Structure 1
């Protein structure tokens, strides 16, 4: 993880962690991996630590390490995964998390694809919320973090978090008046005929957590999606998408509605995955600061894998 021009976000070192929940440590001086783990985990015997190593549960700067005499250097980060086969990809993706703006009230980050916004029953630690929460608590253990909005796990791009409950409430309750612009870039299957368009429907969540679209106003919540077609090539289209509403999976459902599912989105009708991920990125976020009223604008670079299709 890195902070653009500023110090990296990292987990707070803990003493004697419960490894089944996972833990993060920061190396302060040159030492071997075994010596470091013995010092940081006094409640674990040498044999139990060797077991963690053999199971590849010890991750050094994103890479699983099993050698007990592996040399550690200052500022390296050690992650203890919660399970034998925890996804190391999530740890590496977490390192790509960048803070693009921070003040006393809020934080704007760029979330990589594959990283959860918040925890689930199965995953608590490898989330944008957890990583940022650790970061703000490093500054002051009393600091807190609040989720303002979410991105799907496989969607990358700009997200905003509040540092206190009042700011969270203000942003969520006055979202329509606070957010000036919230644009996404999408790679979809097929050539979208229209250069621009508006998709309107009513979305409702089914029993299997899949969103369904209807033209019946009584069937669900109204969702409005605007799009502009930027490029067409090799059987795919590149779209700029703007939301009037922020419903769950809204863009994904609406792209399926017009017969152009987002690439990699098998949940909503995609037939292929040419970029090996969901082709959706939250590229632009503009809003009025909840206290100062100042207009803030943030723009993220379109992922390189999106653009390769259209070269």
Structure 2
């Protein structure tokens, strides 16, 4: 039986050779790449960064605003990288020798509790790093509630953890969340200030007495509304435990799915809270870094 196509020479696309450049003037990475690749659009270059095709001194860099120093070597590799190991419940979006930035799924604990020790973001990430080197460790810098999805980071040493935590307010440039709340928020833009206190039942509540709790400041802006819900962009000036959830309850519009803080509905079977943006100064390089995730589609589904 004659085999179809036998004897025909199969076409194999040519693999483009990597491009290598030396930095002559200090510049942001995106600006440098656009100058070196005039035939590529801004979006084309951002795709190369997103797909981790850009190397600086041999290290993958995906941040468009990474500052290049004179003498550094920039390499562009055109072939697609092999698919990275998928980690349960988390996705690594940035990693260097000092810290790791991840995107956490809803339903995953940031760290272990007395009731659950395994399959936390901490344990999964720790196992991944120890496979590279058994001496590798990670340290908690901040947390997201179990049912909150989005961006958070861990330190790779106690020294970096301490540096970040002790100068948190100075180092954090932006913390933006997306919240879906019950009802239509009448005032489209607002600011909420209170002092948060934790009860014996481990529930946070607001007080106007500065001697009772920690000052918490939350800004919100309405992005979309429907008959039953409002989609809010929420920015934190302070990062207290359950701050957004308590302040939304104070506003009279609890986060959907948040029965602990007054919600009566749970239309998407999860908490309607997502950490959209985390921006900070790198603890060593002092470089401004900004990471943004996509808004969960299930949130937008409530506003169609």
TM-score of the two chains, using structure 1 as the length reference:
0.71
Residue segments in structure 2 that go unaligned for 5+ positions in a row:
1-50, 53-80
Q: Deviations over 1:238-267 (max 9, x none)?
A: 000000111100000000001000000000
1:241 counterpart (214, 228, 234): 234
Task: Indicate which of 283, 291, 300 corresponds to 2:276.
Answer: 283
Q: 1:96 deviation in Å?
A: 3.8
Distance 1:216 1:147 in 2: 30
Deviation at 1:7, TM superposition (A): 2.2
Aligned residue pairs total: 225
**Match of residue 99 from structure 1:** 92
- The 8 Å contact of residues 202 and 215 in structure 1, kept in 2 or not, is answered as yes
Establish whether residue 137 from structure 1 lines up as the match of residue 137 from structure 2.
Answer: no
Are the aligned partners of 2:151 and 2:275 in contact in 1 as well (CA < 8 Å)?
yes
SS at 1:309 equivalent: helix
Runs of 4+ in structure 1 off by over 6 angstroms are none
Q: Which residue of 1 aligns with 2:84?
A: 7
Find 2:140's aligned residue among 122, 143, 147. Answer: 147
Alpha-carbon displacement from aligned partner over 1:148-197 (angstroms, at most 9, x marks no partner): 00000000000100000111001100011111001000000011111211
Which runs of 5 or more structure 1 residues have no equivalent in the other structure? 11-94
Match of 1:215 in 2: 208
User: 1:108 — aligned with what?
Assistant: 101
For the pair 1:194 / 2:187, whether they are aligned, the reply is: yes
RMSD: 1.4
Equivalence map 1:1-311=2 (5 Å): 7-8=84-85, 95-311=88-304
CA radius of gyration, larger in: 2
Q: Distance in 1 between matches of 2:140 and 2:242?
A: 18
Counterpart for residue 17 of structure 1: none
Note if contact 2:89-2:108 (Cα within 8 Å) is conserved in structure 1: no
> Match of 1:129, SS?
helix
